[in-house]
Structure 1
């Protein structure tokens, strides 16, 4: 198997910031680590006084007030115009919006600060500072020196902490976090979700050897005939390994449960490989089997929990392990609605997926950005198929090459982090992007990049539709390059009433599986009326009844849907004072955890679909 070299845009990152971000360390959960979660200090800085001088240029280390680092004066004549205090404290991980009313609508810069002691290190051990995600732009400083910066609110990053910079006690760590929206960022100015700011995911120190396994992928080889492999009970596994430094080494891969042990020769820090394995149980929603896999370099062993499965398109069908599947999906945001905050823990993931299981869904669309790693790990364990997406959303600047570079970087970080998650079967490169030549070129490039990085999954995006009374035609040019044709459908909510779906037909230019990535209608939980009264639970229930009737009349390439959305979520665009009050009400569950009538309508349909595909 050819080594799948990951697409990199590191030079673009240098051009943006002056600092090169280091390659991502994956599987930090199973490495030696020290958590930096907990209580941090903060300073709200709407004018970015701690970052720019009075000429609005970034301060340098020689400035008297070089960034807002350690505020303690060295002598009584020193002038310090900032300070960190226990009075102004904030929890990490967590968005700032939910922690104090002063942050509710705040978009701008907040400085985070905490101290930590140097961990005990053996000879040749190194320390990396790892962030699960910071929304949106982060600048990192240690003991007054800048380590680097990162853009992107939903993907991880890390920096090595120089040994000569680490102190035995009281290391002063500062993070400048800026969540302002900009036209030339990913996502752009206009979104339909809350712009939660802050250090929203785990922060940790990761301790490694001088030479260590930085990234790897291990999966079923895509070239094998999976039906023959199942009959023979003999499979081919393939993948690649990347060390952090260039060296000639051997890495041992073991799966003790099946008695597998293979030695891989590393050349110039990386290797591709393939080998046979016997008696593997394949991962599926019905049997989410994960194997303990051990990767050993020298005296250091790194473990991971990996499932093996093959997803592919065959004509008009999506096959999982050689069998046709129907995706009984639901979309969801990374949000704990009852607490009005970002989800950031395994408990949060289990809560959300508990509702998914109650719905009898077997698939989720994690919209509209990569969710935290607890979500994808929980999906692996629970047997839930996943669509994972980067926030190329609506009207970004498709003509700007730097914007394309930012999208490519987020795509790379999403794929690298989760390339060993069996649950993820679809990488999505965007949602509802308006047609133009520039858009088509931009989106096509992302599809091609995703396929180069990972050929073991399907690539898609929520495409555009030409709506007509009678027949709706899907001929978005991007559909030529995606593996499945996915569209968002809201007939009966935006335009007409749900009864109009009765005569609505669908056709697509492309002979590929058809998936409805969104459909839905709003309802204020507890508001009851006749079915034609908008915002009532009865209207939403009617909408779903008519939608599901329409789905039963789909062409034979129809293979699933992920309605919008599991739970009501916060959005500053939704301002009806009686029914919305800053919430998008299309959830099947309200913001207090109560299930609306439409939840049970969709649940019944999914129970019937499950039985149909079992038969």
Structure 2
């Protein structure tokens, strides 16, 4: 407690290095992309592997795109003018890979490659003079330099969030090309930093679209149920274009809503709809309303659910009623085909395994997953924890690192704040207790509340043993002050003693808040059978879960859990040649899609919890 008091005092007295207010960052992300007029640029993209970055720098280490040199820079996609013209690259003669996709799983020689790869895609389009056009990427890991018809659009840093650039003035009626320099190098000042426990898949890993919009269009909107008033829908509509002041209508036919609004000189309108009694979204009733927003120049549709989420004492309240979060963690990875899981079909496969486990909740670790994952979970009635990759130890005092984390947080929230199933924004995972880290993460939490006050804030914390009491474990992290839900990772019986140790543990939670165990688990190689004390066996993993669940079931303050993890996933950290072979084997489903014994132990536990309601 003395450490807690000191750290809180330091935070109170310290100046706010990472100052930010609600309007200090303009977020130009176009939302609800899948319901817009799209030209898909997915498919085969030519690529050039460039470990020395010869296509980006000249021999003086000057970027070609900054000095205006089109002869050496790959971005220009230059062709020889005649037989005397020397050009030392050629995209058309280079191999191609499927986008979206990662190079690690598609090209065997690039399985462990970290560095620069250039991508190029040609496409034809019939340009309309009264339309605007935006180039949209679902995600590129990790740093992307984007060029359109030889002109640089900009740079995006962060491997798991979407971004877009306007290309209206650059788009040609007919043939066009896009070049992207992708660098997945791990960085000490990055988010995440160099040390992670998942595969560093490089490439353009999610959809690429050319979005066609009207001259003034609906760029963003937010429609959410007021947590304190079940009959009030609140939010905003934001236009983008020259005609800012417009009359508009929001139609929700199933609720008999025909709401009129008017945007101001900045194209913004505050929305307050007296809705009456609504059909509330829940895991048992994942009802989505058909929303239609019309203005004088645009129409946008979506399916949106309405629900409330709050905490009261140590309870989590969904639509005003206590809920136990029967969850599981998962990575954005398809074990059956190798590589990132980027499609709706892959999301359905992974989430079906969670539903069969009788989950009502999933933790999307340790980064924002693709939009299909979130929307599919919403349709299936699965609550969601979303997280940014502030993972383990990053550079807490580095201003650019903080801005990077903030940008990823903002892009995640702006993309998904209309999804009813998202109930928790997480600020990070297993981070150390220091005043710099608390200042860093508390500012992220503050910004999350500014952008979206309708959800709960959490982070996956670590536990500590109480001094002189080896079997008493504490959750006393000062960051807990800034969180709505106290979450922590613990591996008692795997990294910490044997499974029988669980029966000896006493817990002390330093806050009168609901507790969710964000991780616990043990590794097992599917098909390896032995007695319950032989590590790596299915029997040992099942026994671990049995003892863990006995311990967890006795803790009344625990209101949910997401064991680690649904499916085995690839990780260079896991190097045992027999039991791991570059796989983290803590999955309840194997790398070949077979359910392990522990899967059924957890399912039985969840079935009993559900039946007690």
- TM-score with structure 1 length normalisation? 0.93
> Quick one: distance in 1 between partners of 2:127 and 2:151?
22
2:72 pairs with 1:65:
yes
Cα deviations by residue, 1:42-61 (Å, 9 ceiling, x for unpaired)? 00000111111111121132
Does 2:138 correspond to 1:132?
yes
The one of 104, 119, 122 equivalent to 1:112 is 119
Following the alignment from structure 1 to structure 2, what is the Cα–Cα distance between the partners of residues 28 and 132?
A: 10
Q: Which residue of 1 aligns with 2:226?
A: 221
Contact 1:71 1:84 in 2 (8 A): no
1:78: how far off? 2.1
> What is the match of residue 158 of structure 1?
164
Residue 70 of structure 1: how far off its partner (Å): 1.5
Q: How far is the alpha carbon of 1:340 from its aligned partner? A: 1.5
- Alignment partners' CA distance in 2, 1:91 and 1:321: 43
Q: How does 1:282-361 map to 2 (within 5 A)?
A: 282-361=280-359
1:263, distance to aligned residue in structure 2 (A): 1.2
How far is 1:250 from its partner?
2.0
Partner of 1:381: 379
Map of 2:57 onto structure 1: 52
CA distance in 1, matches of 2:163, 2:272: 29
CA contact (8 A) 1:94 1:342 kept: yes
Counterpart for residue 35 of structure 2: 30
- The residue that corresponds to 2:217 in the other structure is 212
**Alpha-carbon deviations, 1:294-314, whole Å to 9, x = none?**
011214211000000000001
SS at match of 2:104: coil
TM-superposed CA distance for 1:490, in Å, is 0.3
2:105 equivalent in structure 1: 98
Counterpart of 2:530 in 1: which secondary structure? Answer: coil
* In 1: Cα distance, 2:198 partner to 2:175 partner: 38
> How far did residue 563 of structure 1 move?
0.1
| Stretches of structure 1 lacking an aligned partner (at least 5 in a row) | 11-21, 227-234
Alignment-derived partner of residue 234 in structure 2: 238
Q: Is the 1:8–1:409 Cα contact (8 Å) retained in structure 2? A: no
The CA distance in 2 between the partners of 1:376 and 1:568, in whole Å, is: 20
| 1:76 pairs with 2:53 | no
Question: Paired residue for 1:557?
Answer: 557
Contact 2:568 2:590 in 1 (8 A): yes
Q: Name the counterpart of 1:581.
A: 581
**In 2, are the aligned partners of 1:9 and 1:409 still within 8 Å (CA)?**
no
Contact preservation (8 Å) 1:219, 1:308: yes
Matches of 1:516 and 1:453, distance apart in 2 = 26
CA distance 1:431–1:7, change in 2 (3 Å):
farther
Say if 1:9 and 1:405, in contact at 8 Å, map to a contact too.
no
Render the CA deviation track for 1:448-482: whole Å, top value 9, x for unaligned: 11111111000000112112522111110000010
Answer yes or no: is 1:481 the counterpart of 2:482: yes
Aligned to 1:17: none
Greater alpha carbon shift after TM alignment, 534-543 vs 263-272? 263-272
Write out aligned runs for 1:434-453 (5 A): 434-453=432-451
Superposed CA deviations along residues 575-600 of structure 1, whole A, max 9, x for unmatched, are 00110000000000110001100000
Kindly state the Cα deviation for residue 6 of structure 1 after the two structures are TM-superposed.
Answer: 5.2
Q: 1:264 aligns with which of 257, 261, 264?
A: 261
Does residue 518 of the first structure (1) align with residue 523 of the second (2)? no
State the partner residue of 2:196. 191
Q: After superposing the two structures, state which structure 1 stretch, 262-271 or 451-460, moved more.
A: 262-271
Query: Is residue 133–residue 212 contact of structure 2 (8 Å, CA) maintained in 1?
Result: yes
Structure 2: distance between partners of 1:6 and 1:562: 32
Give the total of aligned pairs: 587
- CA distance in 2 between counterparts of 1:120 and 1:162 reads 9
Match of 2:12 in 1: none
Q: Is the 8 A contact 1:522 1:587 kept in 2?
A: yes
558-567 vs 139-148, which moves further: 139-148
Q: Deviations over 1:527-553 (max 9, x none)?
A: 000111010001100100000000111
The answer to whether the aligner puts 1:593 opposite 2:583 as a matched pair is no
1:370 counterpart residue number: 368
Structure 2 gap segments, 5+ residues each: 1-19
Compared CA separation, residues 261 and 6, structure 1 to 2 (3 A) = farther
Contact 2:218 2:299 in 1 (8 A): no
Q: Match of 2:13? A: none
Q: Which moved more, 1:497-506 or 1:268-277?
A: 268-277
TM-fit CA distance, 1:270: 1.1
> Alignment partner of 1:29: what SS?
helix
TM-score with structure 2 length normalisation?
Answer: 0.94
